[in-house]
Amino acid sequence: MTPILTPELVRQHGLSEEEFERITAILGREPNFTELGVFSVMWSEHCSYKNTRRELRKFPTTGPRVLVKAGEENAGVIDIGDGWAVAFKMESHNHPSAVEPFQGAATGVGGIIRDIFTMGARPVFLMNSLRFGPIHGDNDAARKNRKLVRGVVAGIAHYGNCIGVPTIGGEIAFDGSYNGNPLVNVLCLGVLKKAEIARGAASGVGNAVFYVGSETGRDGLAGAAFASRDLTEESKADRPAVQVGDPFRGKLLLEACLELLTSGAVAGIQDMGAAGLTCSTCETASRGGTGVQIDLALVPKRETGMSPYEILLSESQERMLIIVRSGEEERVKEVFEKWDLPYSKVGIVTDDGFMRVLDDGSVEVEIPAKQLADDAPVYEREVAIPTRPPAIVVSDLEFHDPKDSLLQLLAHPTVASKNWVFRQYDHTVRAGTIVPPGSDAAVFYVREADKFLAATTDCNHLYCRLDPREGAKIAVAEAARNLTCSGAIPLAVTDNLNFGNPYRPENFWQLREAVEGLSEACRRFETPVTGGNVSLYNESPEGTIDPTPTVGMIGLIEDERWITRQYFRNEGDVIFLIGAIGDEIGGSLYLKTIFGKKAGLPPRLDFDRELAVQKFLRALIRKGVVKSAHDCSEGGLAVALAECCMSGAEKIGARIRLPQMGGSSSQADQRLDVSLFNESQSRIVVTVRSEASDLVQQEAAQAGIELTRLGSVGGSELAIEGPEGTLSWSLDQLHEAWYSSIALALSQQDL
Amino acid sequence: MKIAVVRFPGSNCDQDCLRALTDGLGVKAEYVWHKETSIDGFDAVILPGGFSYGDYLRCGAIAGFSPVMQSVIEAAHAGMPVFGICNGFQILCETGLLRGALIRNRSLLFLCQPVYLKLENNRTPFTRLSEEGAILRMPIAHGEGAYYADDQTLRELEDGGQVVFRYVNETGQPTPEANPNGSRNNIAGICNPAGNVLGLMPHPDRSWEGRLGSEDGLQLFKSLVDTLLSVAA
């Protein structure tokens, strides 16, 4: 029984009157109900980027290493040398995770892994960037957040561990703006031979179109459209829009597809992710400049009585569309029978440019593929520029005992050890994890290619809330700095733009500012954006999330000896701060944690200084004198020092003497808390062998880099000598605050 | 000499095991598909970690009935060295080649972390190159790794020297804190009475070269190869 098209039905499909008119013009008639569903998912924000496409064009997308550009295929591909390449991408599963955290997060992992092996790459590692509301406290919001954290972490572990791709790092931050709307951004990287990049195009008229993988069910119906709405109290009713993942099937599909790809039988391959069968058929046709005709009667189904609308819009997981070269169809049968996976020839590539869907022979959908895939309307949304937040006046802040403040910062879950989380992720499978989770960047040995890669994800939502442009620039700078600290050269970026409803002008302003900030920074760091994802409508009844343009960055370490870790190594090593003591307290975690303020102007990024600092550190690392390197981020210098003392396998103390205050600000009378906890950028704590300290100082002077000698490694406490005496913390005291904060919160019973 | 690495659907440490043998030791090793009914031509078998058949019924339960396992069981009874790691250990328990079972971790959470192991029996083909009492460092990565057997079985295993590896702290003490998953008697690995079948929860296949943080795992593969060479000689 097909519903009759009414303006109400069109609205329910998230299409405007103008969009409906555009559809009618494309078809030369009104769409039927199934076609309306097809347009509604393809023209949703999730698939079409209709509200953000103009902004995304601002990203730098080319560079000498870029082999597949952003938007061209399922994931970008970059050259890592010696005939090898990596495909990588980050994607969000925020909305599904909000209503069904376990399956939402699990299918997020499954989806991004499919995007990578669709490129012909073997997935080698995963990372994730997560945001939740506060987890401490005896209140409903905290209880709900704890459930979300447990569910999301278990879901990521469930899928990643089973499919055998290690989760080697990432970051997690906690803030009230994510209450009810967590962010789950997952990154996957895969390795492939440069000459063997697979394409998602339906090329070769007459070639067979195969459906492979799990049967289609009613789960995940129109998930892409669901992800393109605000989360409301009623969103729970959308649970059927959340897909269910089967990592075992995912693993079989991965192995079968990679095996088939090496046989040369594949002309094109595309995963069925958002918008399922609809998206994969029209996108492959559009890319190939061809048409695709399939018959739904031939699609393997899990349930009986599914309508064409349901089959086309289902987002059942672990499915792929494969275009097979004529005469090679037997290969598909051999491989998929070996792996005991369903497969079915569902159609052929045609030359008429149509996505034509038959239902047991009779035409159900007939839409020009290119216009469906690529001609969604593009909007210029309205922006509203908010007033700039006033700067923080330090003298208005009550002085709080820094000894206690450091412990509070270390216990803040954003800073605290994430061991409770990372222990649940298999991070050692594939025998390549060199620097495990918990360092500035993870380092992985890609055995196939004999290459060492570093990877990180970063975004400071406080900065982005207060100044999205500066915050976005800093996200890129910090990612590059983290990679540099690990000994790598930054290569390329994947980004995940998490914002609120774009129809609110203040939200759209945030997005535009952030995109322009990211673009500028990616140009300066010569790290092109090779792909990513946009997640809008991140709003709950409590309000909009802080803007969160997450940056995932990949780097290459050209010599194993250059791999550098963040923690202090040996007694007697000399500690330097590359950069000045700093003084910018606006947007800091210190202000938020101790004074409850998300206020002020975030730190400023000076590109020239940042680039010089990173270049200097890389040169030092190559000279072989650097024992450890860790950048200053949330919580400033004091937190960085404490982490250097605690994050290795063995704790080790340090004696620090703060120089006469000020550095660049040259305020001799700067307050101690400002010196310890400010978040001025471009600062890195490094240690060197004591014999090398003169050399390091000479090199810094020559390079024009500000370098502050802080003290030396050793002892069983962190002692910081300031103008008015010495503050000291025992290592056990620091460790207790930092190590168990998250584990304790999450281990409690929440009934 | 040729070593078989069995691939079940859902195995995910098969490549790591193969690499440890081929890259770590330069010996010949090949995958054997779970649908094979013979392991003729191989001198030893490794059952790798992973989630065989999705581990959907119970870890290792379905794999125990796969075609290839029938020939592995026969070969094991005939004395061929068979080494089950992680999921492989679970499979060996399901087939009855090893006694006891692996149940949910005490914390009910999946755990991936380095552990210390004490070698308690160097009279197996997999441990003969190490000293008894040696302490090895390797990672674990499992959700169901708590070794369980009833009191009687446990006593027989202990008395028969079938407890090959125990979880210990850095100084070699089998303390409750050093036991990551709640295994009875801190048991990490056991063998059959003949010693030719070994099951181990931690991963030597992820600790066979220094850059991985430990190369202690290589010792087990070396011992196996040494055993096979001395048999051949």
- Report the gap between the CA of B30 and the closest CA in chain A (Å): 17
In this complex, the residue of A161, A163, A249 whose CB is nearest that of residue B110 is A161
Please list every residue in chain B whose beta carbon sits closer than 8 Å to the beta carbon of residue A317. Answer: none
CA dist A89 and A495 (Å) reads: 8
For Cα atoms A294, A296, A300, give the angle at the middle one, nearest 5 degrees: 110
Burial of A743 (0-12, 13-18, 19+ CB in 10 A): middle
CB contact under 8 A, A430 and B54: no
Instruction: Kindly give the parts of chain A with pLDDT less than 70.
Output: 1, 220, 222-241, 660-668, 751
Contact A564, A486 (CB under 8 A): yes
Structural domain count of chain A: 1
The whole domain housing A583 covers 564-751
B51 in contact with A, Cβ within 8 Å: yes
Residue pLDDT, tens place only, A584-624 = 999 999 999 999 999 999 999 999 999 999 999 999 999 99
Contact in structure between A515 and A497 (CB atoms under 8 Å): yes
B70 to chain A, any CB pair closer than 8 A? The answer is no
Of B109, B112, B205, the CB nearest to A426: B112
DSSP conformation letters of A606-672: -HHHHHHHHHHHHHHHHHT-EEEEEE--TTHHHHHHHHHHHSSSS---EEEEPPSTTGGG--TT--H
Choose among A435, A381, A437, A541: nearest CA to A160: A437
Instruction: Note the pTM of the prediction, 2 decimals.
Output: 0.96
Domain membership flag for residue A83? no
User: Do the domain assignments include residue A596?
Assistant: yes
- Choose from B86, B112, B221 for mutation: most chain A CBs within 10 A: B112
- Report residue A109 as tokens: 């992992």
**Cβ atoms A487, A435 nearer than 8 A:** no
Which chain B residues are Cβ-neighbours of A426 within 8 angstroms?
Answer: 110, 112, 141
Which residues are paired to A187 by β-bridges?
A90, A127
Compute the nearest-CA separation of B148 from chain A (Å). Answer: 22
The residue in chain B having the minimum alpha-carbon distance to the alpha carbon of residue A164 is B12
CB contact (8 A) between residue A251 and residue B51: yes
Per the CATH hierarchy, to which homologous superfamily does domain B3-232 belong?
A: Class I glutamine amidotransferase (GATase) domain (3.40.50.880)
CB contact under 8 A, B53 and A248: yes
CB contacts, 8 Å: A247 with chain B: 51, 54
* B16·A246 Cβ contact <8 A: no
In a domain, A138, yes or no: no
Contact B141 A251 (CB under 8 A): no
Chain B CB contacts of A252 under 8 Å are: 9-10
Question: Which of A:209-268 have CB within 8 Å of B?
Answer: 246-249, 251-252
Chain B residues near residue A249 by CB distance under 8 angstroms: 54
CB contact under 8 A, B13 and A164: yes
Asked whether the beta carbons of B51 and B83 are under 8 A apart, the reply is no
Q: Do residues A524 and A481 make contact, with C-beta atoms less than 8 angstroms apart? A: no
Question: Which among B12, B55, B113 has the least Cβ separation from residue A163?
Answer: B12
A28: left (phi over 0), alpha (psi -120 to 50) or beta: left
Do the Cβ atoms of A162 and B211 come within 8 Å?
no
Helix residue ranges, H only, chain B: 14-25, 67-77, 87-95, 151-159, 218-232
Rounded Cα distance between A370 and A362, Å, is 22
Shortest distance, CA B54 to any CA of chain A (angstroms): 5
- Contact check, Cβ <8 Å, A248/B206: no
- Round to whole Å and give the CA distance between A650 and A522: 37
Strand ranges (E), A70-121: 76-81, 84-92
Q: What per-residue confidence (pLDDT) applies to B57?
A: 87
The pLDDT, as a whole number, for residue A662 is: 45
Question: Which residues of chain B fall short of a pLDDT of 50?
Answer: none
Count of CB atoms situated within 10 Å of the CB of A302: 14
Q: Give φ, ψ of A373 to 5 degrees.
A: -80, -35
A580 domain-assigned: yes
**For residue A608, what are the contacts with CB-CB under 8 A and spacing of at least 6?**
none
> Has the ipTM of the complex gone over 0.95?
yes
Q: Where are the alpha helices (DSSP H) in A486-547?
A: 505-524
- pLDDT tens across A515-532, in order? 999 999 999 999 999 999
Q: What is the CATH number of the domain that holds A747?
A: 3.90.650.10
Dihedral of the alpha carbons of A280, A281, A287, A293, in degrees to the nearest 10: 170
Instruction: Give the tokens for residue A602.
Output: 């975030």
Per-residue pLDDT tens for A127-184? 999 999 999 999 999 999 999 999 999 999 999 999 999 999 999 999 999 999 999 9
By C-alpha distance, the chain B residue nearest A444 is B212
**Catalytic center residues of A:** 46, 93
Q: What pLDDT sits at residue A219?
A: 79
| Within a domain: A576 | yes
Cα separation, A90 vs A111, in Å, equals: 10
φ and ψ of B115, to 5 deg:
-135, 165
User: Residue A158's pLDDT is what?
Assistant: 97
B contact test, residue of A334, A428, A744 with most B CBs within 10 A: A428
Across the interface, whether the CB atoms of A431 and B208 are under 8 A apart is answered: yes
Residues 586-615, chain A, touching B (beta carbon < 8 A): none
**Each residue's pLDDT tens digit, A547-577:** 999 999 999 999 999 999 999 999 999 999 9
Are the Cβ atoms of B9 and A251 closer than 8 angstroms?
yes
Give, to the nearest 10 degrees, the angle between helix A33-42 and helix A17-27: 120
Dist CA B139 CA A430 (whole Å): 12
How far A241 CA lies from chain B's nearest CA (Å)? 25
- What's chain B's length in residues? 233
